């Protein structure tokens, strides 16, 4: 059976509606909201600040810590508050997705903390979190070589698609999820995961589609950052 039509009528290479806002959490040094379809992620950045305990400090550079979490009511079946194995792993890959654009070399012995929280989940939460976090880092004035834009691609039935929603992720005949992040300036990949079943050729096609989608997301992120300082 061929997968011919997406539940919400999108084209296969089309993302859901995207909305981004910078400067949403007043007490944070930088913050942003990123919404893609019904998935909403918030990110707040604190730092650079002194890092304790002191043995964790690096004398050559500042370090980045990432904490990804979902609110208990963001999903259909309540998630117990607090970190899980899943959220810990996502925190780690999120940090690795963001680190390549950061330059913390002038902030020796310090830490930059990023807190990501998902209010409403409809698949693609780690990607939305990365998009929000990248904007929050820029808002905090952390030196960056580039931004990071992220989207999930994958395969639903027999079709390669961009930005799967929850209905597509749960597609009966099988769906493959391939979360991606790119540095739009250089076109380099900083997040790459896959769950499911795809051939190498399909993956290559998915990467190309994801890269194109990230270029669109980058525009929205950039506009949101500019809007913050337009008055």
Partner 1 sequence: MNNYTKTVLESGVRFDGRKLDEFKKPIIIELGISKNAEGSAKVTWGETEVAVGIKMNVGTPYPDSPDKGVLITGAELAPMSSPDFETGPPGQQAIELARVVDRGIRESNMIDTKKLCIKEGELVWTVFLDIYILNDSGNLIDAAALAAVAALSNTVFPKLEGNQIKFGEFTKNKLPINLLPITSTAVKIGNKILVDPSLDEEKAIDARITVAVSEKGDIHAMQKGGSVGLTIDEVDQMIDLAIKKSKELRKLIK
Binding region for partner 1 (CB under 8 A): 25-28, 31, 38, 40, 42-44, 46, 49, 67, 69, 71-78, 81-82, 113, 115-117, 119-122
Q: Which is nearer to partner 1, 113 or 202 (CB)?
A: 113
- CB 69 to partner 1: min, Å: 8
Output the six-digit token pair for 26: 């007043």
Measured CA to CA, the distance from residue 188 to residue 11 in angstroms comes to 25
Among residues 29, 31, 59, 63, which one has the least CA distance to residue 46? Answer: 29
Quick one: 71 or 99, whose CB is closer to partner 1? 71
Residue 179: which H helix or E strand, with range? strand 175-183
Residue written as tokens 């749960």? Answer: 170
Instruction: Closer to partner 1 by CB, 11 or 85: give it.
Output: 85
| CB closer to partner 1, 72 vs 84 | 72
Contacts of residue 15, Cβ cutoff 8 Å, sequence gap at least 6: 36, 151, 162, 163, 213, 216, 217
Toward partner 1, which CB reaches closer, 38 or 58? Answer: 38
Residue 184 near residue 133 (C-beta atoms within 8 A)? no
Taking the complex as a whole, how short is the minimal distance between the CB of residue 73 and partner 1, in angstroms?
Answer: 3
Nearest distance, CB of residue 170 and partner 1, angstroms: 10
Nearest-approach distance from CB 96 to partner 1, in angstroms: 19
* Nearest CB to partner 1, comparing residues 27 and 230: 27
According to DSSP H, which parts of the chain are helical?
A: 85-98, 125-139, 166-169, 200-228
Q: How far apart are CA 62 and CA 75, in angstroms?
A: 35
**What span, in angstroms and rounded, lies between the C-alpha atoms of 202 and 70?**
31
Closest CA to 189 of 223, 153, 219, 224: 153
* Alpha-carbon gap, residue 132 to 126, rounded angstroms: 10
């Amino acid at each position: 059976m061929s997968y011919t039509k997406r539940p919400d009528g999108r084209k296969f290479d089309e993302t859901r509606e995207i909305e981004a806002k910078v400067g949403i959490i007043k007490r944070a040094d930088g913050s942003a909201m990123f919404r893609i379809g019904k998935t909403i992620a918030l990110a707040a950045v604190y730092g650079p600040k002194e890092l304790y305990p002191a043995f964790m400090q690096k004398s050559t550079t500042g370090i980045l810590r990432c904490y990804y979490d979902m609110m208990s009511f963001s999903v259909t079946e309540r998630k117990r508050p607090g970190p899980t194995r899943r959220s810990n792993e996502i925190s780690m890959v999120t940090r690795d997705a963001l680190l390549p654009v950061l330059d913390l070399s002038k902030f020796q012995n310090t830490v930059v903390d990023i807190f990501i929280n998902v209010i409403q989940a409809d698949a693609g939460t780690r990607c939305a979190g990365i998009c929000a976090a990248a904007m929050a880092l820029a808002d905090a004035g952390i030196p960056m070589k580039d931004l990071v834009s992220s989207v999930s691609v994958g395969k639903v039935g027999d079709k390669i698609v961009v930005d799967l929603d929850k209905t597509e992720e749960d597609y009966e005949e099988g769906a493959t999820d391939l979360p991606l992040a790119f540095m739009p300036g250089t076109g380099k990949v900083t997040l790459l995961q896959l769950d499911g079943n795809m051939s190498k050729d399909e993956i290559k096609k998915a990467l190309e589609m994801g890269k194109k989608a990230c270029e669109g997301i980058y525009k929205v992120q950039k506009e949101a950052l500019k809007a913050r300082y337009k008055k």
